[in-house]
Amino acid sequence: MKKLLSAVAGIGLFVSTASAQLTTGAWGISPGLTFYPGGTTRPLEVGYAVLDNLRIYGDLALSTFSGSGTSTTGIDFTVGADYYLWHVESIATFIGGNLGIGSVSGTGGSTSFLLNPEFGADYFLSPHFSINGTLGFGLSAGTITTFTTQTGLHATWWLK
């Protein structure tokens, strides 16, 4: 029983010391999922806090698309930045976006230019771990130009 109470108290202390603020010089590793009509993307981001309210990142993502009776896969590489607007307790909101290139395999495979503005919020469970959700738009210009809405979810481990 004492071990259980100690574990609960430790978890409570871990969660209650969360701070909704980036620290200049912190690195973040962030796997995630992005959903949009007809597909999903599974990015792995590596980011760096240039300032207490500015994070830059790069990601490599595997995408799957389906529609019109076909299914294809793709690989995307993007770079981007998030600017944190305000911090309240364990929540920090941001605006940002990324741009990059993507390649789709399958019949009629193509390479596209990608532009994705977004708005989101980080919820810091501890000073070293956060989850975030994003809402944004996606523009893919290549053989076929598409404009979509997208939502995303990431978990970030902050190395300070």
Give me the residue spans of the domains in the chain.
Answer: 2-159
Identify the burial level of 119 via C-beta atoms within 10 angstroms of its C-beta, where 0-12 means exposed, 13-18 middle and 19 or more buried: middle
What length does the chain have? 160
Amino acid residing at 26: A
Reported as a single tens digit per residue, the pLDDT across 6-26 is 544 444 444 444 556 788 999
- CA pseudo-torsion sign 126, 45, 140, 103: negative
Amino acid residing at 157: W
Read off the tokens for 78.
């993007």
> Is residue 156's pLDDT more than 60?
yes
Reported as a single tens digit per residue, the pLDDT across 49-106 is 999 999 999 999 998 877 767 777 889 999 999 999 988 889 999 999 999 998 887 6
Q: Which residues pair with 54 in a beta bridge?
A: 51, 83
Amino acid residing at 115: L
* Contact (Cβ atoms closer than 8 angstroms) between residue 93 and residue 84: yes
Residue with the bigger pLDDT between 110 and 46: it is 46
Q: Is 20 helix (H, G, I), strand (E, B) or coil?
A: coil
What's the pLDDT score for residue 111?
85
> Is residue 157's pLDDT more than 70?
yes
What's the pLDDT score for residue 140?
83
CATH, range 2-159:
2.40.160.20
